[in-house]
Amino acid sequence: MDKSLQELLNQVEDRKEELIQLLERLIRYKTPAPPARNTEEAQQFVASYLKEKGFEIDQWDVYPGDPNVVGVLKGTDSEHYKSLIINGHMDAAEINEDEEWITDPFSPVIRDGAVIGRGAADMKGGLAGALFSIQLLHEAGIQLPGDLTFQSVIGEEVGEAGTLECCKRGYKADFAVVVDTSDLHIQGQGGVITGWITIKSKKTFHDGTRKDMTHAGGKLFGASAIEKMMKIIQGLQELERHWAVMKSYPGCQPGTNTINPAVIEGGRHAAFIADECRLWITVHFYPNETYESVSKEIEDHIQAVAMADPWLRENPPIFEWGGTSMIEDRGEIFPSLEVDANHPAVKTLMNAHEGVTKEAAVVDVSPTVTDGGWFGDAGIPAAIYGPGHLHHAHAVNEQISIEQLLQYTKVILTFIYQWCHTKNR
């Protein structure tokens, strides 16, 4: 290992109190989403931190009070060396008033070798370790040949895809690491898309006419949209079972691809036959699938179900997919991400992990979703790699092991140094 890099890794241990203090500072910024619109102060801190280290700063509001921050540190020989994006989200999971924390969620404490506070695992620990790595490189006067981009984004917890906005703004690199909760596994992910299925009658009827549309000889061509939605739900269950039998993906448990009927809304008044019913579904799919393909599968199957019903044939279901925010328009998309274990950056990250931890790197699939899929969607090779265990994310007394935070910081420091010193072929 390069002598200067080894000296920096030693500093991670020697200055661990500074690293912990940096994480504690990030936790003290109250950035839960929902309600969101509260990251501006935290993001300004990140922007100032990066600017002091020589980064060019791009900061813009995705929503009022929720800006993205992107810092770019140009390499000394960008044309001939690899570039890297480090990505993480500043928003944290929401807090319910009745949760029994041992402390205020945004007043971090240290107990039993862990930092406790909202966002510690998901994912301010990842942000803190990467930022501290940048500080150590800067203080040592190490100039990277390749470009380094740091993205602190908003909205991940509520599907607002600050990372997508970075991709739309044109930020690219040879590789991206999303430093989200992965327990130091190198991960891809399946995807998620939400959708609304609406059953809407072309006519509205008084509830006194029900006997004429449901009993023999009534001759009234009508139906309850709520009752017809039961057929749609049954059709979704049949498709879900078919997927569980016919589809699989290495590293994913059987049946991971699910169709969840999450919310149902319907009817207008007890004196009416329900003339509209809306079903909100959440669809999980495998890393080798796209949200476009799975939504089309669902539409095709449900349309076939509708064609077999005389009333639904005349009043077919309406589909709305995705959305830009669970807050603003009640919808979200998380694209899937496949990790190529043979990609040079993944191999470099694996070697960095093994060199620091003295354990074999694990390349697998996250059981949840992150912003990582947006890089895959944009054609940028990427992986998820961060500290923290998923059992602690979103949990009461959310926490992160200090020992794992130190290991992660050493790995991500090593990876940044080595990848940005890798020549283009």
pLDDT band at 1 (very low <50, low <70, confident <90, very high): low
Distance CA 261, CA 281 (A): 5
pTM of the model: 0.95
Q: What is the pLDDT of residue 215?
A: 87
Distance CA 309, CA 232 (A): 11
The secondary structure element, H or E, covering residue 383 is strand 382-384
Top-tier CATH class for 3-189+337-419 = alpha beta
Distance CA 420, CA 75 (A): 8
Instruction: Tell me the mean pLDDT in the region 184-195.
Output: 98
8 Å CB contact between 385 and 366: no
- Domain ranges in the chain are 3-189+337-419, 191-321
Query: Which range is least confidently modeled, 109-113, 118-122, 250-254, 305-309?
Result: 250-254
Please give the order of strands across the beta sheet that includes 114-116: 109-111, 114-116, 399-401
DSSP helix, strand, coil percent of the chain (3-state; round to 5): 35, 25, 40
Residue pLDDT, tens place only, 355-375: 999 999 999 999 999 999 999
Residue pLDDT, tens place only, 207-245: 999 999 988 889 999 999 999 999 999 999 999 999 999
Distance CA 254, CA 398 (A): 29
Distance CA 387, CA 122 (A): 9
**Rounded to a whole number, what is the largest CA-CA distance in the chain?**
90
Residues annotated catalytic, as ranges? 91, 156
Residue 9 identity: L
Distance CA 254, CA 294 (A): 17
Domain 191-321 in the same topology as domain 3-189+337-419 = no
Report the CATH architecture of 191-321. 2-Layer Sandwich (3.30)
